[in-house]
């Protein structure tokens, strides 16, 4: 087993990102991110602080917005509209989960697509299907200055790429067809060469499917859902799950049991998470270049 160290990979990306930020600042542009935190959810507060720390480390201006849990939908939409029209803000991000009564599904279309650094606006998510161009590959999308990719699926693809894991001819299985799993499967298809399967965690005969996978990604949100008997020898396992427990954050994979069979595996924490946060910052820089016409 070889651990896919998200912190180590993210650090390499951050070094390059610092250079891009420095170049923009010399050109009079300071990339600015404005995460919106609504309420006091402990997990959302941690993500908010994590972004703040990384933004400051990289030299990105952090213009975060904290709002009370009882804010109305109309008031929240008003704040989003204000940030949409603030020319100094380049990246918008709504921290999840939202308090009861607020639904990200009702907000996502209101975020300016050019500032939508987690690709939740239907305009941006639609580009994953249309490709932004006819038969565009994953690399084409990544390099397109007008395309922002969803940060967590983007992180998975970059971890695999950086680690030299070739998808050609491989069985690529994603468990969990939600906000991460669906776009991840699309990006894997865009990469080409592999057979991509997307299934929900309730799928019939799921262990049979997971054992066929050369690359197994789990985005279910259930602690220790992927067990040793569900993984074949030599599988690459990418754990996207985030589950809060009394002993800390865990993933979907029973790491200690599975690591002996996996060829490569991401830990939780320290796997996909650091790359996701880094690519949120990378998307902010990309959005700044587009909005300031520096592409």
Residue-wise pLDDT for 117-130, tens only, equals 999 999 998 888 87
> Residue 76's pLDDT is what?
97
> Residue 161's pLDDT is what?
95
Q: Which two tokens stand for residue 188?
A: 């894997």
Q: 10 Å Cβ neighbour count for 276?
A: 26
**Alpha-carbon distances of 63 from 16, 35, 46, 77, 260, rounded to whole Å:** 23, 7, 16, 17, 44
3-state secondary structure the chain: CEECCHHHHHHHHHHHHHHHHHHHHHCCCCCEEEEEEECCCHHHHHHHHHHHHHHHHHCCEECCEEECCCCCHHHHHHHHHHHHCCCCCCEEEECCCCCCCCCHHHCHHHCCHHHECCCCCHHHHHHHHHCCCCCCCHHHHHHCCCCCCCHHHHHHHHHHHHCCCCCCCCEEEEECCCCCHHHHHHHHHHHCCCEEEEECCCCCCHHHHHHHCCEEEECCCCCCCECHHHCCCCCEEEECCCEEECCEEECCECHHHHCCCCCEECCCCCCHHHHHHHHHHHHHHHHHHHHCCCC
Task: Delimit the CATH 3.40.50.10860 region(s) of the chain.
Answer: 27-111
Q: Does 151-273 carry CATH code 3.40.50.720?
A: yes
Nearest-5° Cα angle at 225, 221 to 228: 145
* Residue ranges of the chain whose pLDDT lies below 50: none
Task: Delimit the CATH 3.40.50.720 region(s) of the chain.
Answer: 151-273
CATH, domain 27-111, list 3.30.499.10, 3.10.290.10, 3.40.50.970, 3.40.50.10860: 3.40.50.10860
pLDDT, one tens digit per residue, over 7-21 is 999 999 999 999 999
Residues 6+ apart with CB under 8 A from 80: 36, 92, 94, 107, 110, 111
Q: Which two tokens stand for residue 33?
A: 């991110």
The pTM (predicted TM-score) of the whole model is 0.95
């Amino acid at each position: 087993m070889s651990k896919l160290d998200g912190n180590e990979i993210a650090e390499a990306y951050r070094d390059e990102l610092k250079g891009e930020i420095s170049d923009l600042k010399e050109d009079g542009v300071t990339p600015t991110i404005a995460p919106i935190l609504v309420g006091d959810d402990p997990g959302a507060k941690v993500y908010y602080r994590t972004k703040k720390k990384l933004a400051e480390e990289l030299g990105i201006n952090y213009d975060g917005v904290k709002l009370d849990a009882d804010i109305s939908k109309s008031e929240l939409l008003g704040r989003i509209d204000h940030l949409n029209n603030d020319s100094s803000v380049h990246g918008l991000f709504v921290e999840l989960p939202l308090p009861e009564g607020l639904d990200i599904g009702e907000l996502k279309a209101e975020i300016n697509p050019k500032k939508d650094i987690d690709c939740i606006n239907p305009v941006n998510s639609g580009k994953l299907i249309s490709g932004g161009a006819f038969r565009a590959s994953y690399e084409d999308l990544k390099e397109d200055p007008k395309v922002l990719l969803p940060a967590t699926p983007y992180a998975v693809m970059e971890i695999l790429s950086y680690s030299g894991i070739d998808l050609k001819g491989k069985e690529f299985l994603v468990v969990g067809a939600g906000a991460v799993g669906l776009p991840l499967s699309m990006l894997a298809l865009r990469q080409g060469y592999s057979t991509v399967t997307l299934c929900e965690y309730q799928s019939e005969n799921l262990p049979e499917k997971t054992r066929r996978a050369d690359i197994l990604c789990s985005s279910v949100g259930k602690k220790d859902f992927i067990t040793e008997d569900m993984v074949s020898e030599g599988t690459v396992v990418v754990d996207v799950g985030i589950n809060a427990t009394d002993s800390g954050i865990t993933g979907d994979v029973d790491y200690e049991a599975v690591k002996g069979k996996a060829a490569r595996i991401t830990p939780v924490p320290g796997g996909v998470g650091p790359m996701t946060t880094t690519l949120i910052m990378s998307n902010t820089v990309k959005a700044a270049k587009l909005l300031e016409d520096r592409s």
